[in-house]
A and B are shown apart, each in its own frame.
Chain A
Amino acid sequence: AQSVAQPEDQVNVAEGNPLTVKCTYSVSGNPYLFWYVQYPNRGLQFLLKYITGDNLVKGSYGFEAEFNKSQTSFHLKKPSALVSDSALYFCAVRDPNRAGKLIFGQGTTLQVKP
């Protein structure tokens, strides 16, 4: 069965420092991977996705993520965090062999302090 794990409930970083939000996955085949962000009292917004090709994908708001097949990971990164990046981040996986069902991790709260 496909699954996603986000091992950290919360990540704290200082503004200007690099940030990493971790995600690992489990699917039977080659995964499609997504990151979403949820600002307080808002819906989920798509950030970026990995489908195939270059393992480093770039997305909205300066975020990027690195796909690592051997470690089954898809960590979200940003070189320099902003206070406005503080939000709830979700990793999601879709197994192309399972008719498109999209499964989310439990979410990681990012807190960026000035």
Chain B
Amino acid sequence: GAGVSQSPSNKVTEKGKDVELRCDPISGHTALYWYRQSLGQGLEFLIYFQGNSAPDKSGLPSDRFSAERTGGSVSTLTIQRTQQEDSAVYLCASSLGQFAPNTEAFFGQGTRLTVV
């Protein structure tokens, strides 16, 4: 596609429910990143996929968070048993990856998650 696409744009869920957030990266981009941004705050790194390599999961805040990337393209971030502190904007980005590390990442518009 023309840009990074994220869905849904907004999600309101009840505490304790599971949610899935989707990211469709730019075609041909082998690297995909997930970040979390709390209200007006910085970008917290969550997870990084690079091609077929094992993902860097070092930023996932708890075992309630998981992500997968199927076929090297679309990625899904899953949050189980959501808590109110999970409320944030979840941003996805993609780039050409480690074989072109001098290239910038492109961001989607984000999914605003609200846990009530």
Which residues of A approach B to under 8 Å, CB–CB?
32, 34, 36, 42-46, 49, 51, 88, 90, 94, 96, 99-107, 109
Contact = CB atoms under 8 A, between A and B. Distances in A.
A100 B110 contact: no
Contacts of A109: 40
B78 to A, nearest CB: 21
Interface of B: 31, 33, 35, 40-43, 45, 48, 50, 53, 56, 91, 93, 95, 97-98, 101-102, 104-110
A99 B42 CA distance: 23
A96 B101 contact: yes
Residue among B43, B95, B106 with max Cβ neighbours from chain A (10 Å) = B43
B102 A104 contact: no
- Tell me the dominant secondary structure on chain A's binding face: strand
Nearest to B112: A41
A73 B31 CA distance: 26
Contacts of B35: 104
Given A43-B91, A90-B43, A106-B41, A100 B98 contact: yes
Given A44-B91, A101-B48, A107 B104 contact: no
Contacts of A51: 102
